[in-house]
Structures are given as structure tokens and as C-alpha cells.
Structure 1
């Protein structure tokens, strides 16, 4: 990123420049990550960028998310990404567990090492809430068009199974594995809607029954995530990376006791 004569970052950074120059983690999502890709599948890319700390010291703040620059690409600023992950946002959590990682640096590796810190029993509420909204839309499609959007129905089944298995095992696995052909049959419209709807109801019931016995903690580990974010911001301000040297020592904001460089 260019700087002015005083060595400061520009007042406003291009969103695409932030993605190009400050991405800490990038992966492929969608059907390719879920093991459901066909020859016609798009490549959905997701990423996380760490906006330079200096940009937050100005009136115009860096964007919390950026579309592009490639088609089907979306990136979040690190703090926004962590906020959504702590809320158990299904799309964000699945992004953290993608098997198709395209780019990762030191900060990104530390983010991935925190995957368990974001998981909690809150996933039941958020996944179920998202699923309820999708099911409502599918039923509206059936009333209006005589059939649901079968691709959406397939992905909803996948999400419900993923939620159930996460609550049962404490592990989020995006790839559908042996369920691939069964789900693709739904996408092709080969399974009657009432059968699909019954499967959805059964998966929802199984997820509900798994909550009380789930190995997941009741709450996410916000303290670990806050410590990571603090060190990432501080590392950006000092020109260091979190996890490097003195920056990685201590539990958080109160741990810094050394002089700032140049003082």
C-alpha cells in the first residue's frame, strides 16, 4: 500500500487493495468445499483481510467487507469476521473449516488455530434460525412455482446435517462425504418435495435432541479471540506480526510493558 511523504497510509484504502495486499486467509467455499461440485459449479472464494491499524485512526474507516475483485469473491475485515464467528454465523464458521485453503499467512494460521474458540452451543440457535428462513423461502417457492429451488433444498439438507453432526461431535466438517450422491439427487429434482421436507424435519429434531449432550461449550471463548485481535492490531501498528517475538507474550492489552520502537 502506498504512503504519503510523511510515511502515513492514505486516508482511504481501496477495498480491492486491502484484499490484494492484506489478506491473511483465503479459501474456496460453496459446492467445491462441500464435495458437491459438478462441471457447472462456480468457484466461490472467501477471505479475511487485516486492515492496517493506521487506517482506523482517521475519520473514514476501512470497509468491514469487500466484494471482489474476482467474481464470486467476498472478504471480511478481521474484526468483523471474528464478531460474526463468535455469533456462530454458519457461513463464517464453515469458511474457517474449508478444506480448500488458497492463502494463509502467520496471522491467518493463528486465526485457524482459534477455530475451536468460536464454537459453542450457540450454533444450534444460529444454524436453526438460518435454516428456518431458508425453509420458509422454499415453501413459498412450492406454493408459487409448484416446486422448490432444488439447489437451495440440497444445500439446506447439507446445512441441517452439518449442524446435527457438529452438535453431536463438536467437529464441523463441511465436506458431505458419502452423502454426496443422495444430495445431488435432490439438486436434480429426483426426490419428491414431501420426502425432502420430512428429511429436513428429522434432521432438525436430531439436532435439537443433541444440544443437551453436545461436547461443545455453552459459550465461545471470547477472551482468546479478543487477545488475538488485540495482538493483530498492535502488530500492524508496530509493523510486527502476532506470534512473533515479544508480541506473542502475555495475555492481552495489559501485558505490554516495553517501550514502543523509537521512544
Structure 2
């Protein structure tokens, strides 16, 4: 498998890891172009465990990044990589061309919808699910913050600067959590974006074709 980009993601990348946190690794691989053009298309995603590793074929990775998928998009903004080839560098160097105002929905819309679901399920919470609830609450609030940064600056800082605040948010009762999210989302929805309405499809398509040309029998 021709892995061109790989890095540690999840809580360790965000700076929200604890002593029990797993190490999550995500990456991008390029299937041989000869396979892509054949009758038997390559797998789009390859998963492994111990450690948890997920690799996406480059076409799927680009497709999801153009939609503003947070867990995909952040891979282009990691502080460091365990694997970064010249082809992956083309993606990272042009990461701003993936961005668009779809961020309003993919970050903000997703975060608030998940927070409301937490509130709807509050009667079923138990001590066994408390940790998952807290982690998910941190995840949702982080998405709002990072979505704001993308819309206002056109860049993304994966490692958070307010770890203590995010852990405190995870301790809120569901109704209080949703109230806070509703307030934050109202502000999020009023952000004046510097991003375009659409990604630079032509530029990204050119990058994909260039990578395919260099991986005929990868």
C-alpha cells in the first residue's frame, strides 16, 4: 500500500488526551492508477487495529475534504506527520483550496445537532456512559471553535489552547450543555466568513491528476 500521508489524530492531536486515551492514526494512500482504471476498483478505506489506523484512498480523501468533513480536513493541518511524501505535500501546501463556506454546516451544523441529541438522550445516561458523554461534549464544542477559526482566518489550529475549559464543558448537565451550545451556535451563525462559497475544484482536480500520473503502478 502506497501511503503518502500519515499522522496521529484524535485526542492526542487535539491535546485532549488522558492516561487512558488510545493512539489514533489516519492516513492517505494512493492506489495504482492501473487499478483505478480497471474493472476491479481498489478499496476506498482500509482499517486496522492495535493501534487504530484508518487509511483513505486519495479520491475518497479529497471528496470528503471538499465537503468540509472535520476529521478529514484536519489531517491537512496537523503539527507533524509520521509520513509526508512529495505528493502529500502537494495536498498540504494547497489545503486552503479545499475550504469553502460549507464549513458553516459541516462544523457548526454538525456540532449543534449532536449537542441537541445529547440533551434528548439525557434520561438514559448512566455512570457507564458519562465518560463518553463528556468526550462527545468536548468534541462538539471544539468543532464550533475550529469552525470559527476556519471561517474567520482560513486556517486551522488542531491542538486546542483551552483544554481546561473543554474538560469543564464535558462536566455540564445535558440541558446546561445545550443552552451553552445554542448561545455559541447563534454567534457562530453570525460569523462573517472570508472563505469562498465553493472550493477550488479545478486546482484540486489538477493535483489529483498529477498524483495519479505519478502512481501508475504504485
TM-score normalized by structure 2? 0.90
Bigger relative contact order (CA 8 A; separation at least 6): 2
> Deviations 1:39-61 (Å, cap 9, x if unpaired)?
11111111000111111233211
Structure 2 contact 115–177 (Cα < 8 Å) conserved:
no
Distance in 2, matches of 1:23 and 1:203, equals 38
Q: Which of 194, 202, 205 lines up with 1:223 in the alignment?
A: 202
Report the CA distance between 1:69 and its aligned residue. 5.5
- Residue 185 (structure 1) aligns with: 168
Select which of 124, 147, 153 maps to 1:169. 153
Mapping of residues 50-129 of structure 1, within 5 Å: 50-68=30-48, 70-129=50-109
Aligned residues: 214
**Counterpart for residue 5 of structure 1:** none
Gaps of 5+ in 2: none
Per-residue deviation, 1:117: 0.5
Paired residues of 2:27 and 2:56 also in contact (CA < 8 A): yes
C-alpha RMSD of matched pairs (Å): 1.9
Moved over 3 A (4+): 191-195
TM-score by length of 1: 0.76
Give matches, 1:127-146, under 5 Å.
127-145=107-125
State whether residues 53 and 237 of structure 1, in contact with CA within 8 Å, keep that contact through their aligned partners in structure 2: yes
TM-aligned CA distance change 1:59 to 1:70, over 3 Å? farther
